[in-house]
Amino acid sequence: MGIMKFFRTWTLPISMLTGAAVYMVFASTSFLNPLKPFMYNIIDVMTPLLIFTMLFLTFCRVSAKELHIVRWHVVLLVLQIAGCIAGYFIFLPISKVIAQSVMVCIICPTATAAAVITGKLGGSVPNLTTYTLLSNLMASIAVPVIFPLVEPHEGIGFFGAFTVILRKVFSLLICPFILACVIREYFKDIHRLLVRFTDLPFYLWAVSLAIVTGQTVKSLVHSGDHVLIEIGVAAGALLACLIQFWAGRRIGRKYNDTISAGQALGQKNTVLAIWMAYTYLNPLSSVGPGSYVLWQNIINSLQLWRKQKKEQERKG
């Protein structure tokens, strides 16, 4: 029991360190060279499959009766689109890689794990869950439109790139929700079985995080860019993180839902963000959402600490 508690507490650093270490060992082992292309292909297939399964199991636990669109949902969706475009053009004169990194950190949908933090902080879990679904839907539409414009693929026109990304992103973000609704409605026995695996999405997230961390390390190792660019990418992600948490809370305060709106805009599905950046943009831009993992968890830790401190002061 002690080991499981330790793992759950330190899952973030354990997963990231494991992914980085496995890649470094794998990359430096020469006798595995013939297998490396095959292994990389397996990893490319595993990552979206893990994300799909993680989202599917999470959506299985969502009841449609609890989902209601409120005003701050619409405001944050518009802000995400506008912020994504504005962030790209603000940082573009500095570096295209930094601009792409900031863009993907903003357009990325809300983390499925955000509901857990929101509940612990005393926010509205149903409102947060609704926004998680809406932001996934928004990303499935916006990403295929925006990404081909900022990072054209050689030999593929805009419409071709749009079609490819739309097909992959839609199948990854929306299909899990549709499948979960079908299972809930027509296969109730299977649904009851699936919702029992309460911790499985958590462990799938840990495995996905390890894989995408390894991919990010690969981008860094093979990158010819100066270290200042990498620092700039991480700094841009920090700025995007701080602004989104602040803006979400500021908007949420107007609608008496400060905590939920702050987590909805600030806490991102970084596993998905890293995968999208690595797959469709300059691979080095994946360092942005990779560092965003650290920034958002520092903020979450501080928020939880402040809440616990206030509770202790009230008891004292």
Task: Give 293 or 103, the one with higher predicted confidence.
Answer: 103
Tens digits of per-residue pLDDT, 212-247?
777 777 766 766 656 788 889 999 999 999 999 999
Average pLDDT over residues 301-313: 80
The set of residues, in sequence order, having a beta carbon less than 8 Å from that of 91 and lying 6+ positions away, is: 98, 99, 102, 236
Among 97-106, 157-166, 260-269, the range scoring the smallest mean pLDDT is 157-166
pTM above 0.75, yes or no: yes
* Span 52-79, average pLDDT: 84
pLDDT for 1: 47
Strand partners, 110: 268
Residue 249 in this model has a pLDDT that exceeds 90:
yes
Residue 305 has pLDDT above 70, yes or no: yes
How far is 167 from 231, CA to CA, in rounded Å? 33
Average pLDDT, the chain: 82
CA angle 163-241-131, nearest 5°?
Answer: 60
Specify the pLDDT at position 161: 67
